[in-house]
Chains A and B, each alone.
Chain A
Amino acid sequence: MRSNGARLATVVVGVAIVAVLIGFYVANLLSSPPTVSASQTASHEVQLTLKTEAAVGPQGGNPPWVSYLIKDPEGNWIHSTIFKVPAHSLVHVTVYQFDGESGLRNPFLSQVQGTVGDRMTIDGKSLRSIPPEEASHTFAVPQLNLIVPLPGVHEEAKNQCEEGPCNLSQAHRTIDFTIHTGEPGRYRWQCFVPCAAGFLAGFGGPMQTIGYMDGFLEVA
């Protein structure tokens, strides 16, 4: 290349290519599951409806894994784990548990902590804790002192849902509990039951990926 102009043009093209590549890179990393709001039922009261299924996806480049889903205000199930609830409110949470039992690594987490009354209702029965081996997932927000162990579907149950989407006619457990939200903030929530069979301590894969078994509770 001899002329200044040709060289300058090459440089400009080169810079443009680099900028585009960086743009793709950043856009790939920015991708995240959507934030879904809980459904308003009264002033300062919302209903958050979740379900857990054994194999949902693929999403964001990951294979189908066990995952939580949330019902949005229009009644659709969204594969996301970023939930939005209002601050200083009462949140009624209902979880439909379609997944089987796995067991807790730390049985301390088998006792309900942080809900109203420190209790939850499982299939209609009000309980303070469950046998640790029966846990299938937990819904825990440690920053809000909230730990709720979710029992799983028994091994011998009929009509189990092996992979999503699951509907309420299949075997499931229904867990209800209520929590108070306080100050606004972005709190993380996670599952404590090692449901990622195949990874060390069961805590890899879906257990470490936002959009499956981890997410954020946006209190706004």
Chain B
Amino acid sequence: MNSDAIARPLWRRLIGFNLLGGIVLGIVGFYFGWWLGHQIKADSLDYFGDTNQNDVALMLGYLFSVIGFLVGLGFANYPLARMLGRDRSHVENEEGGVGRYFGLCTDHKVVGIQYLLGIGLFFFIGGVNAMLIRAELLRPSPQLFGAGNYLTLVGLHGTMMMGIMTSGVLGPFANYFVPLMIGARRMAFPRIEAITFWLLMAAGTILMTTIFFGGFPTGWTGYAPLNVQANYGFDSYIFFFALVGLSMMLLGLNMIVTIISMRAPGLTWSRLPIFCWGALSTSVLMVLAAPVLIAALLMVAFDRSVQTSFFLSSAGGSPYLFQNLFWFFGHPEVYVLALPGFGIILEILPVFARKPLWGYRTAVAGILGVALLSFFVWQHHLFVSGLNSSLRPFYMFSTEAISVPTGLVFLAGMATLWRAKIRYTVPMLFCLAWFFNFFIGGASGVFLSDVPSDVSTHGTFFVMAHFHYAIMGGLIFAFFAAIYYWVPKMFGVALNERLGKIHFWMMFIAFNSTFAPLFALGLMGMPRRVVTYPSHLQPLNDWVSVSAFVLGASMLVFLGNVVYSLVIVRKPAPANPWESRSLEWTTPTPVPVGNFDRPPVIDSDPYDYGVPPVALPPPPAAQAPAPG
């Protein structure tokens, strides 16, 4: 952006490789792919006439729309230029104003803020769907949306949340702060970092278009063979997870390489901030688990369009194959959601306890242990499915064993509070609430991991309560802790403390009021994803629905706080309002493009609270003038 030239007219500035260009080319690409799909005619595909739903056309449409979107944003410019032998800087758009945020920008801090806003948008959409679901469940028979649309709402809520929030912490906060915490000037692969964000935005948009194609009836788990039977609204689910999986893999790859190879001098592994350990282990899970999902969905796409039978028992396939592939991804996926929460909580706790993180090695062992074990537990989702019954004791043991490293994380957090001087700021409140919620989530997980107990609770609202406590009570509370903690650094403006406390208390109380009764509902015989229930369960469902509306209102309080503090009032925050000793707070606000003028040299971990200041040796005595 040339700041000295005569300002060009707005319409001239809008045309170019930016979001608008991306959207335009995306739409063009969609119609091109749609047209292309309709040109494909073959004997084996002639059933299209019967179903009136051309899956190949829709999937090609999505494919070309994503390609068009990315080309329009400008991602192809650098590779093409280099392939044509031309010189081109690999830095894109790092100088300039607000316009950077609406396109391809290689500055990791811009990508972090893009992620924060983009994820916030889709989190809001997922939340609206949740409110609609609870509105339908106010009465025992479907009065509002009808059974089919209700299933689409349920599927949209779950799918949107699970897909978007996997990058919910790593996207905004790890991308922004990991380079700052390790003393690096940038991430290892800035262009890849930018593409992970735009892939996620494309994915979320594609998922929302499912309502134009009839929605999908499978819920977020998308089991075969129901997904083969589903109409072509399901193709948007396939594409959503394919893009999310790709985004996850690339984000994880970038994070791993950055943390391993770009640490500042003196930053040994034992001085690495615990948040970076959380990001690192999450990234390993992302890289290893996401490809399995993409492969499984590719098989589903083939089953749906070209009549293969991977998942159809009558033709030699097996529905178990999909369940196993899905959960091999699905279980590490939920730890992708939980581990960043661990990292954030343990990172923020020392700052407000004014104490070092207790048991650093213990905490790291806990995080790595959870990450490792998460690959060995997936069949606990399949205890009553009829899989080989002698495998079940093993998976019961491995699932219960995950509570051991999780316990180590709890120990580190709890002991950090011992003889602390706790300062009850809003981030600290969210951290403390995390322990309460995640304990309930974890304890209910122990009940679910026990096979006999699981026989009654699998597939019921008990499971819903368990994972909402672990994911929403865990990840989302940590997410808000991170927001309140880091917004002063990211935007130079602090969020209003009083509104923050109102948000916290409303959210904490409404959250528990919403999800605790679900344990009871599950035990009383209410399965998941049902639009109708016995009428004697209505009072409890109504209580849950009203609490959910209050929970939604607490999010509006948060949004109000954001608008009030960040848009309207904009009172500048002090440079280090929380007096944190972590490296990111030593940079000026706003953080300059290269982060640090010189790579910092690290001599300790960032948790030196409560350590008496080291007495410096006295300066060499000034030479007293010789007497006389």
Q: Do chains A and B touch in the complex (CB under 8 A)?
A: yes
Residue from A10, A30, A198 within 8 A of B50 (CB atoms):
A198
Of A8, A188, A200, the residue contacting B147 (CB under 8 A) is A188
Binds A, one of B209-217, B336-344, B463-471: B209-217
Residues of the B chain whose Cβ atoms lie less than 8 Å from the Cβ of A61: 212, 214
B623 at the A interface (CB under 8 A): no
- Per a CB cutoff under 8 Å, which of A7, A62, A185, A201 touches B567? A7
8 A Cβ contacts from A44-99 to B: 61-65
Of A116-124, A125-133, A168-176, A204-212, which stretch is located at the interface? A204-212
Cross-chain contact A11 with B568 (CB below 8 angstroms):
yes
Question: For residues 184 through 223 of chain B, which have their beta carbon under 8 Å from a beta carbon of chain A?
Answer: 211-212, 214, 217
> Judging by beta carbons under 8 Å apart, are A29 and B141 in contact?
no
Q: How far is the CB of B425 from chain A (nearest CB, A)?
A: 26
A196 to B141, CA, bound (A): 26
Q: A-B pairs with CB below 8 Å: how many?
A: 72
Hey, what's the 0/1 contact readout for A182-220 against B, CB within 8 Å counting as 1? Answer: 000110100000001111110111001110001000000
Quick one: given A8-B568, A204-B229, are A29 and B132 in contact (CB under 8 Å)? Answer: yes
Q: Does B35 contact A (CB under 8 A)?
A: no
Check A199/B567 contact, CB under 8 A, given A29-B149, A32-B146: no
**B214 contacts A22, C-beta separation under 8 Å:** no
Q: Are B146 and A205 in contact (CB under 8 A)?
A: no
Complex alpha-carbon distance, A204 and B211, angstroms? 17
Q: Using Cβ atoms and an 8 Å threshold, which residues of chain A touch B146? A: 32, 210
**Chain B hits for A186, CB < 8 A:** 141-143
Q: Count A interface residues, CB 8 Å.
A: 33
Interface residues of B in 114-161 (CB under 8 A from A): 128, 132, 141-149, 152-153
Which chain B residue lies CB-closest to A64?
B52
Contact for A200 among B50, B225, B567, CB less than 8 A: B225
Q: Is A106 an interface residue (CB 8 A)?
A: no
Closest to B564 in A: A11
Query: Given A4-B568, A197-B50, A198-B50, A26–B132 Cβ distance below 8 Å?
Result: yes
Q: Which residue on B lies nearest to A199, using beta carbons?
A: B229
Give the distance to chain A from B559, nearest Cβ to Cβ, in Å.
9
B228–A200 touching, CB < 8 Å: yes
Query: Which of A7-40 touch B at CB < 8 Å?
Result: 7-8, 10-11, 22, 25-26, 28-30, 32
Give chain A residues whose Cβ lies under 8 Å from the Cβ of B142.
186
Cα–Cα distance between A18 and B568 once the two chains are bound (Å): 19
> Does B53 lie at the interface of the complex (its beta carbon under 8 Å from any beta carbon of A)?
yes
Inside 8 A of A198's CB, which chain B residues have their CB? 47-48, 50-51
Q: Could you say which of A25, A28, A204 contacts B231, with CB atoms under 8 Å apart?
A: A204
B506 CB within 8 Å of chain A: no
Complex Cα spacing A65 to B51, Å: 9
Distance between Cα atoms of A28 and B145 in the complex (Å)? 9
Q: Which residues of B contact A200 (CB under 8 A)?
A: 225, 228-229, 312
Interface check B455, CB cutoff 8 A: no
Chain A residues near B152: list those with CB within 8 A: 29
Interface size on B, residues (CB 8 A): 33
- Say whether B563 faces chain A, with CB atoms less than 8 Å apart: yes
B312 contacts which chain A residues (CB < 8 A)? Answer: 200
Determine which of B211, B214, B228 lies in contact with A62 in the assembled complex, contact meaning CB atoms within 8 Å. B214
The residues of B that contact A7 with a CB separation of less than 8 Å are 567-568
Contact of B583 with A by CB under 8 A: no
B143 surroundings in chain A (CB, below 8 A)? 186
B567 touches A11 (CB 8 A): yes
> Could you tell me the distance between the alpha carbons of A118 and B84 in the complex, rounded to whole angstroms?
79
Distance A61 CA – B142 CA, assembled complex (angstroms): 21
B230 contacts the other chain (CB 8 A):
yes
What sequence of 0s and 1s flags, for each residue 459-497 of chain B, a beta carbon within 8 Å of any chain A beta carbon?
A: 000000000000000000000000000000000000000
Interface of chain A, main secondary structure: mixed
Q: Please indicate the chain A residues that have their CB under 8 angstroms from the CB of B567 in the complex.
A: 7, 10-11
Q: Specify the chain A residue showing the minimal Cβ separation from B531.
A: A188
Query: If the complex has contacts A198-B47, A210-B146, are A28 and B229 also in contact, measured as CB distance less than 8 A?
Result: no
Chain A residue nearest to B234 (CB atoms) is A204
**A11-B563, A199-B51, A199-B229 given; A30·B144 CB < 8 A:** yes
CB distance from A209 to the nearest CB of B (A): 6
Closest Cβ–Cβ distance, residue A141 to chain B (whole Å): 14
Given contacts A7-B567, A8-B568, A200-B225, are A29 and B153 in contact (CB under 8 A)?
A: yes
Identity of the chain B residue whose Cβ is nearest the Cβ of A143 in the assembled complex: B532
Closest to B47 in A: A198
Which of A30, A199, A201 counts the most chain B CB atoms within 10 A? A199
A24 to B491, CA, bound (A): 33
Chain B neighbourhood of A199, CB < 8 A: 51, 229, 231
Quote the shortest CB–CB distance from A20 to chain B (angstroms).
Answer: 13
Query: Within the complex, which residue of B128, B141, B147, B230 is in contact with A210, where a contact is CB–CB below 8 Å?
Result: B147
Shortest Cβ distance from residue A162 to the other chain B in the assembled complex, whole angstroms = 13
How many angstroms from the CA of A153 to the CA of B146 in the assembled complex?
32
Q: Which residues of A contact B214 (CB under 8 A)?
A: 61-62, 209
A40 to chain B, nearest CB (A): 24
| B231, A205: Cβ atoms closer than 8 Å | yes
CB proximity to A under 8 Å, residues B37-84: 47-48, 50-53
Chain B nearest CB from A183 CB (Å) reads: 11
Residue of A nearest to B225 (CB): A200
Is B211's CB under 8 angstroms from A29's CB? Answer: yes
- List the B residue with the shortest CB-CB distance to A200: B229
Q: Which residue of B lies closest to A26 (CB)?
A: B132
Closest to B51 in A: A198
Q: Are B148 and A209 in contact (CB under 8 A)?
A: yes
In the assembled complex, the Cα of A7 lies from the Cα of B564 at a distance in Å of: 10
- Contacts of B141 on A, CB cut-off 8 Å? 185-186
Chain B residue numbers with a CB within 8 Å of A8 are 568
B220 to chain A, nearest CB (A): 18
B552 vs chain A, min Cβ distance (A): 12
When the two chains form their complex, are residues B229 and A201 in contact, meaning their CB atoms are under 8 A apart? yes
* Contact of B148 (CB < 8 Å), options: A28, A196, A210: A210
Most buried by A among B141, B142, B143, B146: B146
Residue ID in chain A nearest B228 by CB atoms: A200
Residue among A10, A29, A185 with the highest chain B CB neighbour number at 10 A: A29
With the chains together, A7 CA to B212 CA distance in Å? 34
List of B residues within 8 angstroms of A29 by Cβ: 132, 145, 149, 152-153, 211
In the bound complex, residues from chain A placing their C-beta under 8 Å from that of B47 are 197-198
Q: How far is the CA of A188 from the CA of B531 in the complex (A)?
A: 12
Instruction: Tell me the complex Cα distance, A148–B410, Å.
Output: 60
Return chain A residues, CB-CB under 8 Å to B148: 208-210
Task: Considering the complex, give the chain A residue whose CB is closest to the CB of B140.
Answer: A186
Please report the C-alpha to C-alpha distance between residue A30 and residue B50 in the assembled complex, in whole angstroms.
Answer: 28
* Segment 223-258 of B: residues with Cβ below 8 Å from A: 225, 228-231
Q: How far is the CA of A198 from the CA of B168 in the complex (A)?
A: 39
Verify B52–A203 contact, CB threshold 8 A: no
CB closest residue in chain B, given A197: B50
Note all chain B residues with C-beta closer than 8 A to A196: 51
Query: Which residues of the partner chain B approach A30 to less than 8 Å between Cβ atoms?
Result: 144-145, 149
C-alpha gap A10/B568 in the complex (Å): 10
Q: Which residues on B sit within 8 Å (CB–CB) of A22?
A: 128
Give Cα A200 to B214, complex, Å.
17
Closest 3 CB pairs of A and B: A198-B50, A198-B51, A63-B52
Q: Could you show 9 A-B contacts with beta carbons less than 8 Å apart?
A: A7-B567, A11-B563, A22-B128, A28-B211, A29-B152, A30-B144, A62-B214, A64-B52, A200-B312
Tell me the B residues contacting A by CB distance below 8 Å: 47-48, 50-53, 128, 132, 141-149, 152-153, 211-212, 214, 217, 225, 228-231, 312, 563, 567-569
Using A11-B563, A29-B149 as known contacts, list a sample of 6 further A-B pairs with CB atoms less than 8 Å apart, ordered by residue number in A: A4-B568, A7-B568, A32-B145, A199-B231, A205-B231, A208-B229
